[in-house]
């Protein structure tokens, strides 16, 4: 037990909302720039030629990684490095209010480009002659990107070491390439990619369940670790 108890729920939902709005207002201009880049990348994918589609898909992946890491580094790591947390300590908040504020603010910031990319790709598949069978593949890859972001965010929130935070983020990013190769050639996915039938195979549903479980476990562990902290610093 510590001075703040082990309850990892927020004590003041209204204050958590204010912390989310604060971070949203700080990063909304930068986010608008990222969204413009993502729309350009989606346009390249939608042009249909293999070269432009490949360039657009790569740009989508890079921008989604950059916007996620930018939000995490700016709103958590940089504030910690510049020691702006004493300002937060002057507010009537508990460590768990700050935890949920940072977690939800970053999720909101990331979900804007994430939903744009995922929805845009699914719309391109379903409204053009491209094979609809790639829909489950897109969903699995998109959820992997979301899980990668959530785990990176939770590590940064729970671990104070900047070195370990950077190492964890880079390590998680290196998993993306092997994961793309693995799911593309996985039985239950591979044989449906070029077809028009959308098949939610046992392998696809298993991957989706595993990815959602990873997100939930990462948030749970980060919450428990943060609840045991005796101070904001």
Q: What is the pLDDT of residues 10-29, one digit of tens each?
A: 667 787 888 888 888 888 88
Task: Answer yes or no: is 6 within a domain.
Answer: no
Task: Answer yes or no: is 3 within a domain.
Answer: no
Report the distance separating Cα 49 and Cα 167, nearest Å: 37
Task: Answer yes or no: is 1 within a domain.
Answer: no
Contact 215, 147 (CB under 8 A): yes
Percent of the chain with pLDDT over 90: 44
Task: Answer yes or no: is 166 within a domain.
Answer: yes
Supply the pLDDT for residue 10.
Answer: 66
State the angle between helix axes of 176-184 and 162-174 in degrees (0 to 180), rounded to the nearest 10. 20
Quote the pTM value.
Answer: 0.86
User: How many domains is the chain built from?
Assistant: 1
Task: Answer yes or no: is 212 within a domain.
Answer: yes
Q: What angle do CA 76, 81, 87 make, to 5 degrees?
A: 75
Structure-model confidence comparison of residues 67 and 90, the more confident one: 67
* pLDDT tens-place string over residues 142-189: 999 999 999 999 999 888 788 888 888 889 989 999 999 999 999 999
Supply the pLDDT for residue 4.
Answer: 45
CA atoms in the 13 A half-sphere facing the CB of 9: 2
Residue of 143, 141, 142, 129 whose CA lies nearest to 195: 129
Task: Answer yes or no: is 179 within a domain.
Answer: yes
Around Cβ 138, how many Cβ atoms within 10 Å? Answer: 15
Contact 23, 105 (CB under 8 A): yes
Residue 233 pLDDT > 50 = no
Domain that holds residue 141: 16-228
Task: Answer yes or no: is 220 within a domain.
Answer: yes
Supply the pLDDT for residue 111.
Answer: 93
Supply the pLDDT for residue 207.
Answer: 97
pLDDT band at 114; cut points 50, 70, 90? very high
pLDDT band at 1; cut points 50, 70, 90? very low
Task: Answer yes or no: is 200 within a domain.
Answer: yes
Residue 103 pLDDT > 70 = yes
């Amino acid at each position: 037990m510590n001075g703040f108890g082990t309850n990892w729920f927020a004590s003041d939902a209204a204050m958590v909302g204010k912390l989310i709005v604060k971070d949203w207002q700080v990063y909304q201009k930068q986010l608008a720039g990222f969204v413009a880049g993502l729309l350009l990348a989606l346009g390249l994918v939608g042009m249909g030629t293999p070269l432009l589609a490949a360039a657009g898909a790569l740009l989508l992946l890079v921008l989604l990684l950059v916007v996620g890491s930018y939000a995490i580094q700016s709103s958590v790591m940089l504030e910690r490095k510049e020691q702006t947390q004493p300002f937060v300590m002057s507010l009537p908040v508990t460590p768990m209010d700050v935890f949920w504020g940072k977690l939800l603010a970053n999720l909101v910031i990331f979900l804007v480009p994430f939903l744009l990319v995922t929805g845009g790709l699914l719309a391109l598949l379903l409204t053009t002659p491209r094979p609809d069978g790639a829909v489950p593949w897109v969903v699995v890859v998109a959820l992997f990107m979301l899980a990668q972001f959530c785990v990176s965010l939770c590590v940064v929130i729970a671990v104070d070491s900047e070195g370990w935070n950077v190492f964890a983020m880079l390590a998680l990013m290196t998993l993306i390439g092997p994961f793309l190769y693995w799911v593309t050639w996985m039985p239950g996915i591979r044989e449906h990619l070029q077809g028009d039938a959308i098949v939610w195979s046992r392998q696809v549903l298993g991957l989706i369940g595993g990815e959602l479980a990873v997100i939930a476990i990462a948030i749970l562990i980060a919450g428990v670790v943060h609840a045991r902290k005796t101070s904001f610093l």
